Copies of this chain bind each other. A is one copy, B any other.
Amino acid sequence: MATTQILPKGVSAREFVRALAEFGRIVGEDYVIRSDEQLLPYRKAMLPEQPEPLICSAVVIPANVEEIQGILKICNRHRIPIWPISTGRNFGYGSATPATPGQVVLELRRLNRILDVDAELGTALVEPGVTYQQLQDHLKERNIPLWLDFPAPGPLVGPVGNTLERGGGQTPYGDHFGHCCGMEVVLADGAILRTGLGGVENSNSWQCYRYGYGPYLDGIFTQSNFGIVTKLGLWLMPAPPAHRTFLVQYPEDADLAKAVDVIRPLRLDRTIGNFGVLFNAALALTSFVRKADLHDGPGAVPDARIFAAARERGITPWMYSFSLYGRPEIVEVNSRVVTAAFEQSGAVVIPDIHDPMQVNELSLETFRLLNWTEGGGLAWFAPVCPNRGADMRNQHHLAKSIMSDHGLDFMTGATCIGREIENVMPLVFNPASAEESQRADACMRRLIREFTAAGYGIYRTGTNYMDLVASLHGATNLEVNRRLKRALDPNGILAPGKSGIQI
């Protein structure tokens, strides 16, 4: 069994072997993974490969908080960097791979208890290994009428990992961080922090009230490396008495700005109950055809072919899918309002479509887009766009022209949050081709630079691009993050490089 040659930065082979043996004494040898074969699934990033591959040196899999504390002691002693993951399926953002080479992945899948569900208050308390599937099964078995809100890789992943990455979904509880309540965090020195009201002895309100007393800390444990979250409180939505999902079709590529300006007021006044997805023809086509079916040239599929293939399948250049939720009478009133608004702007409105993610059904439909090319390379470019037609048009033109320069197809599945849109664009490429992978990488870096230069920010990025994105979001911001890092993890053992933060 080949053992990896990759070492954590600054750690000698001898010291590393000693540390792994110490890990083994805590978690059991079966839960320390170090052979290249066994590490393979943890090293598959889907992202463009980097000159120095961002892969782990080993994986350690604790069973509980005490074992995590033991691991941290060893890491502090030997300065071993660890990269915590829950299910490790952060697809298109790096999956289970660390932000710098050689970190030890700390896999939390064995911490998989559903510690509490309060059917009356609509709350839950779960560990990082709990999946959406597991939590949904738990609710169904007990006939608890609470809905979950899933991200795109729904059935495969869990609420803790997704919430900490500030992922989103497609019900009215789509802002996952906005619907979590109370964290248990193991700090680098092993201290256990319970945020919010979790610090009150025998607290009965930990999952009821988010902010606690004094500084509200939860936000600093998202998209960061300041602690290991081992329990997370969730707010779950009472199942609505009725719901209805719509598909709106705009006939022209130039209709994008118009669509956004109709959506915005309907989102701000909460007529439309969820973010919905505003997507283009190319993304819709990935469910039906492969790129090779439409185009055999080296570059992006020409617009004319995309639109022609779309037309054949009843797909228009821009579509928006969203839902209404509530009492039947209210869904009816709002159905009339949204239909009139979209039709007035020249769209066709199709009611009663089915989109699983919008109605509490687990699905992997989003990832059909991986069929577009061979090899399953995927990197999300996820800028924030003000919820305004002119800005979306601007982002569309900017992104499309950059992608086209790099021979990639412009696709977007944008979520219309409220005052902003997360304009989430997949770069789909074949990682088996070094040339294609390099093109995707160059494209992503240019997108990040040109969007931030235009005043737009980035909501989330893959492990490859964390340093770059962090460097463009304010020097003081990064410096403050470093100061917090040094305060909470003075040896820098937790996920160095996450969101660009090192000690």
- Copies assembled: 2
A459 at the A/B interface (Cβ < 8 Å)? yes
* Bound-state Cα–Cα, A205 to B219, Å: 19
On whether A337 and B327 interact (CB within 8 A), knowing A214-B500, A477-B195, A480-B193, the answer reads: yes
Residue of B nearest to A498 (CB): B214
Stretch from A42-50, A119-127, A308-316 contacting the other chain: A119-127
Q: Which of A73-81, A84-92, A483-491 faces chain B? A: A483-491
Interface 0/1 of A447-460, CB less than 8 Å to B: 00000111111111
Encoded as 1 (CB less than 8 Å from any B CB) or 0, chain A from 185 to 201 comes to 00100011111111111
Taking the nearest CB of chain B, how far is it from the CB of A242, in angstroms?
Answer: 12
The reply to whether B214 and A238 form a contact with Cβ atoms under 8 Å apart is no
A130 to B209 alpha-carbon distance, docked (Å): 29
Q: Is the CB of A223 within 8 A of B214?
A: yes
In the complex, what distance in Å separates the CA atom of A469 from the CA atom of B214? 9
A388 to B459 Cα, complex, angstroms: 37
Binds B, one of A27-35, A136-144, A263-271, A356-364: A263-271
Q: A204-B391, A386-B204, A419-B121 are in contact. Are A213 and B217 (CB under 8 A)?
A: no
Determine the distance from Cα of A127 to Cα of B194 in the docked complex, in whole angstroms.
33
CA separation between A334 and B330, bound complex, in Å?
A: 9
CB within 8 Å for A455 and B214 given contacts A205-B384, A235-B419, A420-B209 = no
Instruction: Say how far A148's CB is from chain B's closest CB, in angstroms.
Output: 15
Question: Does A226 count as interface, using CB distance less than 8 angstroms?
Answer: yes
Q: Bound state CA distance, A472 and B197, in angstroms?
A: 10
Q: Which of A59-88 contact B (CB under 8 A)?
A: none
CB 8 Å contact bits of A96-128 with B (1 = contact, 0 = none):
000000000000000000000000111100000
- Chain B residues lying within 8 Å of A454, measured Cβ to Cβ, are 204
B476–A199 touching, CB < 8 Å: yes
Q: Which residues of chain B are near A385, meaning CB under 8 Å? A: 205
* Besides A177-B211, A211-B459, A216-B219, 6 new A-B residue pairs in contact (Cβ under 8 A), listed by A number: A120-B388, A195-B477, A200-B472, A204-B386, A212-B457, A214-B477
